[in-house]
Structure 1
């Protein structure tokens, strides 16, 4: 394997110049940088990340803490974050919580963080108090997505207002018997989104003097299969609602499948509105409240890299706007 000395000899420069050129540092002419890159390519030289981090004090690694890697929402956030990190020469160290919930062991400790990551991105998860204290003590830049924290900046949507908007759309069409299928978590993971979206539905109904029957509110686990299961339960009742608000598009897609199995027409017999604008929503004609998931990942990561560069990013919450996207799954209720 080639050494940095071999590259320096081939390019006719010092090893210090090779190091500066390969790390993109200033005070290296473009002509010299091109010679170094050509020599490194020809010799198949790969700089030692350990040596580079010792020299610069930076690892060019960002830790990303995520509850699930397989769910559409989290995959979208990771995709947006990874895109920005690649553009800036950073790598990802993924911390996957999985289904362990609030009783999980500490995911972050000093051995995992110290001199291994330059910053941490936390996606829709409340950290344990010990983890928060550790990050503050190590003075590691942190940005959160979805869950505000007084210590760090956050990028999120207004979950309360978003569900109010979805509910107001159905009320505006003339629906009064509206059901709600919420997204529970396993076993609650302690993110505020489920409670905020459920409260948004109830607030909108109360604002218009509409009753919320206990039987018209059911909970799923955010997946299409769960939406199908609880959708069959909700829509199979004699007093079924004429419209349903789903806490996510994945739940809504399951509700559409449940309506089909029960022989109900959408939107003539039941209207369905979701939240997210999932990539499958357009294929199924699902009316939804769109949120820019990938862009939230990009925004949070740009903010994080600004903090790594030493800029003051403050502790503000950036609320990203959502948009009602009208498709064919909602319409005024059919007159009896």
Structure 2
């Protein structure tokens, strides 16, 4: 089997030069790079991340650690990051944590990560002070997307303001009996998003003199199934809220599906607001607090690439703005269909055309 030594011998250069040439690293003239690439193609040699890193001390890979591997939000963030990393030849290795402490220790293993990645993206995972110190001791660039942790550069949205924005919209429509769905009671990782959004929800209710009713709060994971279960729980507790703030679009979609299947009209009988602007939210005409998910992944990736090139961005925190998008699932309490609110650029039902690209791709982040 052809190896890097064979390519170096045929091209008449060192193994380190072959590695730099094939990984797109500096220090190789254009002529030499072209010659090495031609020999590699002739011999059928493809550099693996681990082998290519031996002469240079780099693996050519970046790790992305998240609480779970599946889910639209995590996939979209990783997609945005991978777009930037792939453009300059980096591979992306994804690690999902199970809800057990032993798995967490295995994945946040600095000895393992040091061998496999040149940098690390920590996605929506609050680390302990000991974990932060261990990761920083790796001497690898680390960036977080989500919770702010001392010593780590972060890209985030203001989740308290997200909760305020969604609830304020419902309050301004005249709703006071407003339900809240989100917050997994079995979460062992300290996922901070739902509690922060709930804080914003409670603050706005307090501003209009409404005491939050525990009967109107239902826990749930960031899944459509949780929305279905939440509707059943609201119905069991009764009477139904006139509006619901769900901490994700996926929960909101499940809630809307369950309500409509039960003969409850949305928004005439119950308004619903979600968060994210999920790729399929337009199908439901869903009012949502939109966040640029893929863009956050790109911003984090570009910051890490800058640090890998020797740049120093310190421990800065970048807060990305969110935007309330009013579509067809919210209206004043008991409003007839004619009073439904539509977002600009949508039809009368609040539905827009199938998007060519997600909205957060409208404001592209350039990749050097």
The TM-score normalised by the length of structure 1 is 0.91
Distance of 1:188 and 1:4 partners within structure 2? 45
Distance of 1:249 and 1:265 partners within structure 2? 18
5+ unaligned residues in a row in structure 2: which ranges? Answer: 337-368
Q: 1:174 to 1:327 in 2, by over 3 A?
A: same
- The Cα offsets for residues 213-272 of structure 1, whole Å up to 9 and x where unpaired, read as 221111112211111111122145543221111111111111101211321111111110
- Does structure 1 residue 243 correspond to structure 2 residue 243? yes
Aligned length: 335
Q: 1:139 to 1:169 in 2, by over 3 A?
A: same
- The Cα offsets for residues 39-86 of structure 1, whole Å up to 9 and x where unpaired, read as 321221234645532322222221221111111111111111222221
Deviation at 1:32, TM superposition (A): 4.3
Distance of 1:155 and 1:181 partners within structure 2? 25
Deviation at 1:273, TM superposition (A): 0.6
> Which region of structure 1 is more displaced relative to structure 2, 321-330 or 132-141?
132-141
Distance of 1:157 and 1:51 partners within structure 2? 38
Distance of 2:21 and 2:258 partners within structure 1? 60
Contact 2:98/2:104, CA 8 A, preserved across alignment = no
SS at match of 1:183: coil
Aligned residue in 1 for 2:113: 113
Aligned residue in 2 for 1:320: 320
Q: Which has the higher contact order (CA 8 A, sep 6+)?
A: 1
- Does structure 1 residue 144 correspond to structure 2 residue 144? yes
Distance of 1:22 and 1:15 partners within structure 2? 13
**1:140-219 mapped onto 2 (5 Å cutoff):** 140-184=140-184, 186-219=186-219
Distance of 1:193 and 1:35 partners within structure 2? 51
Contact 1:142/1:152, CA 8 A, preserved across alignment = yes
Aligned residue in 1 for 2:77: 77
Structure 1 vs Structure 2 CA RMSD: 2.4
Distance of 2:102 and 2:254 partners within structure 1? 27
Distance of 2:18 and 2:304 partners within structure 1? 29
5+ unaligned residues in a row in structure 1: which ranges? Answer: none
Q: 1:46 to 1:327 in 2, by over 3 A?
A: same
Contact 1:235/1:241, CA 8 A, preserved across alignment = no
The TM-score normalised by the length of structure 2 is 0.83
